Amino acid sequence: MEEKWWQRSVVYQIYPRSFQDSNGDGIGDLPGITDRLEYIRELGTDTIWLSPVYKSPNDDNGYDISDYQDIMEEFGTMSDFDALLEKAHSLGLKIVMDLVVNHSSDEHRWFVESRLSRDNPYRDYYFWRDGKDGGAPNNWGSCFGGSAWEFDERTGMYYLHLFSKKQPDLNWDNPAVRDEIFRMMDWWLQKGIDGFRMDVISLISKPEGLPDGEPRPNGYASFELCANGPHEHAYLREMNRRVLSRYDLLTVGECAGVTLEEAKSYANLDGRELSMVFQFEHMGADFHPVLGRYALQHKNLPKLKEILSRWQRELDGVAWNSLYWDNHDQPRVVSRYGSEKEEYRELSAKMLATCLHMMQGTPYVYQGEELGMTNYPWTSIDQINDIESLGNYRDFHAKGYMTEEEGVTMMRQRSRDNARTPMQWDAGPAAGFTTGTPWLPVNPNHTFLNAAEQLGRSDSVFRYYQKLIALRKELDVIVFGRYALLEPEHPDLFVYTRTLGDESLLVMCNFSEESQAYSIPSEFREAETLIANYPDPTPADTLRPWEAVVLRRR
């Protein structure tokens, strides 16, 4: 199988609202991104995933699109986008757009038409159903809390929204919807973009008859019961046949509820569907068994290792992994699995980066992750913008699962807003993100945790990510080597090997603040150090707090 360009890529994810403001309104925008492209290239990442920049009322910060072929007012104009794309390509950077087609905004013209009457030509672009027993058509819950159905007075029916009520689900079973979406995708590809990240693409084929599901503690069935539906792969293969296969793209499906078995279809190396998927199993390793993500949980490293190792082993040679800790929906990994203590923050950030970037798959670096940015020290629920955090807190508070004080602690540990505070460019006001008032507060630690300071320091987290990314470009063993986990039960050490022909790597990561005894396997005792997060050589039988070492044997 010949190598695909995206198998050696490292992708940089930008959440435009929080990346760089260029006109002082406190909101990031396209010209701001264009001004920062050299920074992204210097890191060594070669592809940018742009979270949505299309017209949107911003009920879910752009993941509710009202016009797929126009740019959101606050972010600029289509000519700003064209300038960004042109400069990115001139710098050798590719642009992957965020395709949000499981749902549109309720302000999209299709939905404005659809809700006008039961016999409107656009009625079946969405899911409209009569109520049942005086309530919603079934017991499905929105990912953002509450029911997944909204009653619409005008025609006396309910419409489906797995996310917010301003994000009605599109009916992919309607061929007219697929035609519209494939035409729009091709319009963007004709402009020269280099791929798509596909939002909740695993949910587009709903179960036949929309049956009730197993209720969770909040009384509703999980939206994830829609994952991997009856026509899922047929629709993706149709998309591939009619659009994707005509270009050389990176396509990554964000697949809530995807299983390893399903991923072997979604991300199969035969190229019939997508290049890769974002799976969520490893993100769930620290979830509360009952309250899920939005509850305080403790890390369980053996569980995390088992999940990641299973995906590494079972996709090898069959399909392709994405590799991520952070994105705009996740709390910052340094706060989640590393240490915020100043003496350990950078060490743990480099350790976490090493653990991920030495695996097989395409790594994603989320804006600020390359600096070791941390969660925000929220003090009140009122500071929170995120519709998902607020909706889930509201449900749990109403059910008595969570006091307001516990809610604030939960936000500090779990809220998506932890990833959405402004990018920390320098120590100045608003961290150089804006000359105005930022839409979300800047983390106070920007006075010492910022890009300007790290660009000027050879042992910074930024410079460490730069080395990791350069190694992937250089070494086939990182891109294609076979993965094997060592010490599966160790509660604090994550140790694995990668092997390709006569060459092998030993990756040792200490996920704890304590020194851990570990004897380097004899075959690696004379091996060279490929990269390490401590300046001096690692002891032969100990891993120091948050230590990461990669040994290479040829």
Counting residues that bind Ca ion (by CB under 5 A) gives 5
User: Which is closer to ligand TEU, CB of 329 or CB of 346?
Assistant: 329
The residue among 29 and 262 lying less far from Ca ion, judged by its C-beta, is 29
Judged by beta carbon distances under 5 to 8 A according to partner kind, the member of ligand TEU, Ca ion, none in contact with residue 256 is ligand TEU
Please report whether residue 435 would count as binding Ca ion according to CB under 5 A: no
Among 12, 18, 21, 326, binds Ca ion (CB under 5 A): 21
The 3-class SS string of 477-544 reads HHHHCEEEEECCCCCCEEEEEEEECCEEEEEEEECCCCCEECCCCHHHCCCEEEEECCCCCCCCCEEC
Catalytic, out of 60, 64, 98, 199:
199
> Tell me, what amino acid is at 142?
S
Backbone angles phi, psi at 524, to 5 degrees: -110, 0
CB of 30 to Ca ion, least distance (A): 9
Q: How far is the CB of 167 from ligand TEU (least distance, A)?
A: 6
Query: Which residue lies nearer to ligand TEU by CB, 256 or 531?
Result: 256
**Closer Cβ to ligand TEU, 65 or 479, answer by number:** 65
291 close to 299: Cβ distance less than 8 angstroms: no
| Contact predicate 361/476, CB 8 Å | no
- Name which of ligand TEU, Ca ion, none residue 435 binds, using a CB cut-off of 5 to 8 Å depending on partner kind: none
Q: Closest separation between CB of residue 33 and Ca ion, Å?
A: 11
Secondary structure of residue 49 in the 3-state scheme = strand
> What residue 155 binds from ligand TEU, Ca ion, none (CB within 5 to 8 A, per partner kind)?
none
Contact positions with Ca ion (CB under 5 A) in 395-424: none
Total Cβ atoms within 10 A of residue 296: 14
| Alpha-carbon distances, residue 144 vs 134, 282, 288, 397, 430 (angstroms) | 23, 21, 17, 14, 30
Q: Closer CB to Ca ion, residue 27 or residue 520? A: 27
Q: Give the count of beta carbons closer than 10 Å to the beta carbon of residue 429.
A: 13
How many other C-beta atoms can be found within 10 angstroms of the C-beta atom of residue 357? Answer: 23
Residue 170 C-beta: closest distance to ligand TEU, Å: 12
| Nearest Cα residue to 422 out of 100, 28, 13 | 28
Of the two residues 46 and 98, which places its CB atom closer to ligand TEU in the complex? 98
Q: Compute the least distance from the CB of residue 260 to ligand TEU, in Å.
A: 18
Please, which residue, 300 or 445, has the CB nearer to ligand TEU? 300
d(CA 532, CA 554): 18
Q: How far is the CB of 60 from ligand TEU (least distance, A)?
A: 5
Among 11, 13, 20, 29, which residue sits at the site for Ca ion (rule: CB under 5 A)? Answer: 29
Residue 80 is a binding residue for Ca ion (CB under 5 A): no
**Interior CA angle at 64 toward 431 and 172, to 5°?**
145
Which residue among 46, 254, 326, 417 is the active-site one? 254
CB 187 within 8 A of CB 181: no
> SS3 string of 293-350?
CCCCCCCCHHHHHHHHHHHHHHHCCCECEEECCCCCCCCCHHHHHCCCCCCCHHHHHH
Q: From Ca ion, ligand TEU, none, which one binds at residue 199 (CB under 5 to 8 Å depending on kind)?
A: ligand TEU
Nearest to 142 by CA among 221, 258, 211: 221
Which residue stretch of 25-33, 38-46, 190-198, 443-451 sits at the interface with Ca ion (rule: CB under 5 A)? 25-33
Distance CA 435, CA 20 (A): 10
Among Ca ion, ligand TEU, none, the one that 63 touches (CB under a kind-dependent 5 to 8 A) is: ligand TEU
Question: Can you tell me which residue has the tokens 């920049």?
Answer: 53
Q: By the criterion CB under 6 A, which residues form the site for ligand TEU?
A: 60, 63, 100, 143, 163, 199-200, 254, 256, 293, 328-329, 388, 416
| Residue 25 is a binding residue for Ca ion (CB under 5 A) | yes
**Is 124 part of the annotated catalytic residue set?**
no
The one of Ca ion, ligand TEU, none whose footprint includes residue 408, by CB under 5 to 8 A per kind, is none
Stretch that binds Ca ion, among 23-31, 82-90, 155-163, 471-479 (CB under 5 A): 23-31
Would residue 73 show up in a list of annotated catalytic residues for this protein? no
Smallest gap from Cβ 258 to ligand TEU, in A, equals: 11
Q: CB 361 → ligand TEU: shortest distance, Å?
A: 19
Which of Ca ion, ligand TEU, none has residue 553 at its interface (CB below 5 to 8 Å by kind)?
A: none
State how far the Cα of 398 lies from the Cα of 393, in Å rounded to an integer. 8
Closer residue to ligand TEU, CB minimum distance, 390 or 530: 390
- CB of 75: closest distance to Ca ion in angstroms? 8
173 binds, among ligand TEU, Ca ion, none (CB under 5 to 8 A by kind): none
Structure tokens at 39: 């920074």
Eight-state DSSP code of residue 259: -
Of residues 10, 11, 14, 27, which one binds Ca ion by CB under 5 A?
A: 27
- Other CB atoms within 10 A of residue 247 CB: 15
Q: Which does 29 bind (CB under 5 to 8 A by kind): Ca ion, ligand TEU, none?
A: Ca ion
Contact predicate 48/84, CB 8 Å: no
Please spell the DSSP secondary structure of 395-415, one letter per residue: HHHHTTS--HHHHHHHHHHH-
- 199 phi and psi angles, rounded to 5 deg: -65, 130
* CB burial of residue 220 (10 Å; 0-12, 13-18, 19+): buried
Q: Nearer Cβ to Ca ion, position 5 or 39?
A: 39
Provide the annotated active-site residues.
199, 254
**Residues of the shown chain interacting with Ca ion in the complex, contacts defined by CB under 5 A:** 21, 23, 25, 27, 29
